């Protein structure tokens, strides 16, 4: 019965000195989640009875970053005895009655996927070994613990790089830092592990050797794809692991029917969702919980954070955050959509337009050079080039309400709070401070007055004055030119 129960211990207490960061290493984000978040996402899919995260360095920050996203996870505090062995020991102390299998993962190794780990646990159970190590054969084993085998080829022990002899250091089979142990084996041997080593730490990696000395069997599962073992100790590895995770996500969506023209410059967070027949053009980031419906085209040069893009919409060279784009709508190029932007079906947000907290109705267009903030816009509206909602009076933000079929003239300033009734129009350059009734034309610019000859009189000798004189002479000649033309 008990032998098929599983506890997962995720090690996340270390400082991550080599990152040289204020942020704890395991919280550095890749593909839209902290490193340890990927490990917990995978762990949550393995059907474990317990999931524990061992914390110490910046423990409050780590717990705060994870507890909402991973309910049911138990956080266990490591004391001041350092080392991975101590981390596992405190985790086991927190589940005193548990005597099944313990899968140990590192918070800094986010590439081990569900299939790999499921097969790993199954392999451990099928051999009946007291412990199974995940190992890999690599060209450059620098930094990893080495797997030392006996004459029969069985695992004898693990030696850390810093404690290795030259011969041991030359071994290319590395400890991936992922293990399955029988809980009883850990409970028996971890208390006996000392700190007499180069790092003065209680090493988890001492346990396999102790098991062997006691006559227990230690198995090794050699992975064929070494990338699943890659961990992050510094920023170069952070970038590498981020790229590998992204490649995996891109491939997953390609197999689901998404065209991704340039995988190398397309970044998709793990939580984003894309439908079949979406096309992603180069240099595009689909971040957070963005959702893109069938037939939409996004990019090039576009960043979407937590956006919803409707069917067949086109979003080009755009930066958008928490925006909802309706089916068949077009956005860009060079549009900036801030939180609360909702564009209706077949609507348009065009070049050099910024929007915020704005509902723009079906088929409505904001085509050129506008700012639309704190506004509600009905259907079939067209805002002339450079229409601006002046929503902020230095103290408060106010709303602009624009009803169906309103057309504004170019360079209209809508001084909020203000309402434009259905079908209303504004003249070019209007500064609208009062509500406009349905169907009215709002004009606020004084009638134009031309002062004839002003330039020649007041700017004599300038290029403008000379040009004006030439134009006047030409007009005078044209006046009696009729006879000349007849000649």
Residues recognised as catalytic: 368
Q: Within a 10 A sphere around the Cβ of 249, how many other Cβ atoms?
A: 23
Residue with tokens 């932007």: 341
Of the ranges 84-92, 308-316, 374-382, 477-485, which one interacts with ligand UD1 (CB under 6 A)? 84-92
Provide the terminal-to-terminal Cα distance of the chain, rounded to the nearest Å.
Answer: 118
Token pair in block for residue 112: 């081990």
Number of residues lying near ligand UD1 (CB under 6 A): 28
Nearer to ligand UD1 by Cβ, of 24 and 300: the residue is: 24
Q: Does 145 bind ligand UD1 (CB under 6 A)?
A: yes
Nearer to ligand UD1 by Cβ, of 171 and 294: the residue is: 171
Of the ranges 101-109, 238-246, 399-407, 413-421, which one interacts with ligand UD1 (CB under 6 A)? 101-109
Between the alpha carbon of residue 49 and those of residues 9, 154, 407, the distances in Å are: 11, 31, 62
Q: Does 73 bind ligand UD1 (CB under 6 A)?
A: no
CB burial readout 283-298, b (16+ within 10 A) else e: bbbbbbebbbbebbbb
Q: Does 12 bind ligand UD1 (CB under 6 A)?
A: yes
Q: Distance (Å, rounded) from C-alpha 371 to C-alpha 251?
A: 38
Minimum distance from CB of 60 to Ca ion (Å)? 22
Q: Which of residues 200-259 bind ligand UD1 (CB under 6 A)?
A: 203-205, 231, 233
Q: Distance (Å, rounded) from C-alpha 186 to C-alpha 175?
A: 18
Q: Distance (Å, rounded) from C-alpha 459 to C-alpha 462?
A: 6
**DSSP label at 71?**
T
Minimum distance from CB of 135 to ligand UD1 (Å)? 9
Nearer to Ca ion by Cβ, of 232 and 250: the residue is: 232
Minimum distance from CB of 87 to ligand UD1 (Å)? 4
Among residues 6, 7, 9, 13, the one that binds ligand UD1 under rule CB under 6 A: 13
Minimum distance from CB of 92 to Ca ion (Å)? 21
Q: Is the dihedral of CA 9, 14, 18, 23 positive or negative?
A: positive
Among residues 108, 173, 270, 306, the one that binds ligand UD1 under rule CB under 6 A: 108
Token pair in block for residue 34: 């902290």
Q: Does 144 bind ligand UD1 (CB under 6 A)?
A: yes
Minimum distance from CB of 108 to ligand UD1 (Å)? 4
Residue closest to 390 by CA, chosen among 378, 399, 401: 399
Pairing of strands 131-137, 74-77: unpaired
Nearer to ligand UD1 by Cβ, of 9 and 309: the residue is: 9
Residue 321 near residue 337 (C-beta atoms within 8 A): yes
Nearest to ligand UD1 by Cβ — which residue? 145
Nearer to ligand UD1 by Cβ, of 160 and 403: the residue is: 160
CA-derived radius of gyration, the chain: 34
Q: Is the dihedral of CA 54, 56, 61, 63 positive or negative?
A: positive
Q: Which of residues 33-72 bind ligand UD1 (CB under 6 A)?
A: 54
Among residues 34, 37, 100, 177, the one that binds ligand UD1 under rule CB under 6 A: 177
What lies within 8 Å, CB to CB, of 416 at 6+ separation is 374, 375, 389, 390, 391, 397, 398, 399, 400
Minimum distance from CB of 35 to ligand UD1 (Å)? 8
Among residues 73, 175, 318, 355, the one that binds ligand UD1 under rule CB under 6 A: 175
Q: Within a 10 A sphere around the Cβ of 301, how many other Cβ atoms?
A: 17
Q: CA-CA-CA-CA torsion for 39, 290, 352, 420, nearest 10 degrees?
A: -140
Nearer to Ca ion by Cβ, of 52 and 108: the residue is: 108
Of the ranges 9-17, 89-97, 286-294, 366-374, which one interacts with ligand UD1 (CB under 6 A)? 9-17
Nearer to ligand UD1 by Cβ, of 66 and 381: the residue is: 66
User: Taking CB within 5 to 8 Å according to partner kind, which of ligand UD1, Ca ion, none is near residue 219?
Assistant: none
Minimum distance from CB of 63 to ligand UD1 (Å)? 14
- Measure the CA angle with vertex 456, ends 452 and 462; round to 5°: 140
Q: Does 135 bind ligand UD1 (CB under 6 A)?
A: no
Among residues 84, 318, 321, 386, the one that binds ligand UD1 under rule CB under 6 A: 84
Q: Within a 10 A sphere around the Cβ of 137, how many other Cβ atoms?
A: 14
Residue 468 near residue 456 (C-beta atoms within 8 A): yes
Nearer to ligand UD1 by Cβ, of 84 and 426: the residue is: 84
Residue closest to 357 by CA, chosen among 315, 324, 404: 324
User: Taking CB within 5 to 8 Å according to partner kind, which of ligand UD1, Ca ion, none is near residue 82?
Assistant: ligand UD1
User: Which residue ranges make up the site for ligand UD1 (CB under 6 A)?
Assistant: 11-14, 26, 54, 78, 82-84, 86-87, 106-108, 144-145, 158, 160, 174-177, 203-205, 231, 233
């Amino acid at each position: 019965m008990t032998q098929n129960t599983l506890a997962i211990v995720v090690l996340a207490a270390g400082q991550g000195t080599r990152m040289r960061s204020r942020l704890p290493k395991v919280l550095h984000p890749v593909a839209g989640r902290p490193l340890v978040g990927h490990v917990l996402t995978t762990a949550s899919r393995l059907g474990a009875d317990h999931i524990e995260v061992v914390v110490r360095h910046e423990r409050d920050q780590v717990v705060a970053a994870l507890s909402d996203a991973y309910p049911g996870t138990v956080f266990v505090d490591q004391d001041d005895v350092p080392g991975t062995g101590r981390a596992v020991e405190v985790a086991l102390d927190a589940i005193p009655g548990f005597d099944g299998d313990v899968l140990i993962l590192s918070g800094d190794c986010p590439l081990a996927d569900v299939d790999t780990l499921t097969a790993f646990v199954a392999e451990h159970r099928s051999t009946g070994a007291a412990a199974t190590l995940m190992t890999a054969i690599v060209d450059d084993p620098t930094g990893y613990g080495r797997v030392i085998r006996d004459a029969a080829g069985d695992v004898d022990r693990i030696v850390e790089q810093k404690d290795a002899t030259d011969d041991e250091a030359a071994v290319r089979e590395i400890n991936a830092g992922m293990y399955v142990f029988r809980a009883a084996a850990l409970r028996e041997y971890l208390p006996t592990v000392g700190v007499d080593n180069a790092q003065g730490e209680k090493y988890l990696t001492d346990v396999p050797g102790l098991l062997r000395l006691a006559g227990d069997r230690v198995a090794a599962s050699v992975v064929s794809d070494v990338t699943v073992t890659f961990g992050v100790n510094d920023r170069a590895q952070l970038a590498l692991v981020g790229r590998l995770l992204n490649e995996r996500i891109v491939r997953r969506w390609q197999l689901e029917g998404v065209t991704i023209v340039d995988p190398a410059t397309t970044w998709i967070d793990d939580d984003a969702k894309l439908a079949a027949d979406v096309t992603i053009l180069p240099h595009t980031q689909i971040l957070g919980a963005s959702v893109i419906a069938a037939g939409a085209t996004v990019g090039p040069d576009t960043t979407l954070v937590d956006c919803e893009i409707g069917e067949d919409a086109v979003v080009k060279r755009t930066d958008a955050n928490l925006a909802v784009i309706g089916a068949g709508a077009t956005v860009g190029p060079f549009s900036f959509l801030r939180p609360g932007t909702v564009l209706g079906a077949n609507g348009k947000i065009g070049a050099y337009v910024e929007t915020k907290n704005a509902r723009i109705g079906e088929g409505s267009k904001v085509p050129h050079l506008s700012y639309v903030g704190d506004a509600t816009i009905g259907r079939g509206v067209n805002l002339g080039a450079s229409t601006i909602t002046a929503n902020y009076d230095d103290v408060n933000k106010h709303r602009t309400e624009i009803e169906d079929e309103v057309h504004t003239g170019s360079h209209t300033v809508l001084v909020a709070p203000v309402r434009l009734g259905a079908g209303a129009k504004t003249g070019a350059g209007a500064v609208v401070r009062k509500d406009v009734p349905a169907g009215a034309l709002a004009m606020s610019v004084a009638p134009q007055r031309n002062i004839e000859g002003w330039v020649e009189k007041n700017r004599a000798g300038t290029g403008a004055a000379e040009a004006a004189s030439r134009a006047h002479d030409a007009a005078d000649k044209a006046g009696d030119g009729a006879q000349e033309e007849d000649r």
